[in-house]
Chain A
Amino acid sequence: QQQVKQSPQSLIVQKGGISIINCAYENTAFDYFPWYQQFPGKGPALLIAIRPDVSEKKEGRFTISFNKSAKQFSLHIMDSQPGDSATYFCAARVTSNTGKLIFGQGTTLQVKP
């Protein structure tokens, strides 16, 4: 069964700190791993994504680390800001002609000023 497990469920970080969210997957038939940020009442917004042939990708304060052998990937938010407070979802795209995304359960991040 294709699953993506995400942890922690919730996270509280002080302003300026590093937020780390982890995901693990159980099926190798994935070819793309995006992270989405969702604010209350809004749709998920694509934040950053990585392909499995790359071990790390950085865009501004956001970095994805990818460990193919361990089937794990993580999102690091450097210098976390109160405006980063949102729910974050990791996802994995099924290798097929559907582009189907399997999402993790989400992590609610609160950055305290």
Chain B
Amino acid sequence: DAGVIQSPRHEVTEMGQEVTLRCKPISGHNSLFWYRQTMMRGLELLIYFNNNVPIDDSGMPEDRFSAKMPNASFSTLKIQPSEPRDSAVYFCASDSGRAGSNTGELFFGEGSRLTVL
């Protein structure tokens, strides 16, 4: 299995630009998670989906952030407009658990390192 695939691995953009991060979860996994990692705040859960439906988006920092999962094999995290404080590594992870019963064994992608100038 190819594992969780994220793109791009690195993104450098200017403040005010739109950023779209992409994730392909492991085939057959029912839950997908977006995390943000910074030195100051550590790992923060932004949003998670189960069977393509957003279950909890309480970690999304503000309206500039949005996430979609149009099908079981693809998700996007969009930031519009981006700001320097959004600079971080964004991880996507998937879990093989069934609805309402995640296993807790997350499989992480290698992350997308975002730098907003």
**Is chain B found bound to chain A in the same assembly?**
no
Q: Chain A: residues with CB nearer than 8 A to chain B?
A: none
Q: Chain B: residues with CB nearer than 8 A to chain A?
A: none
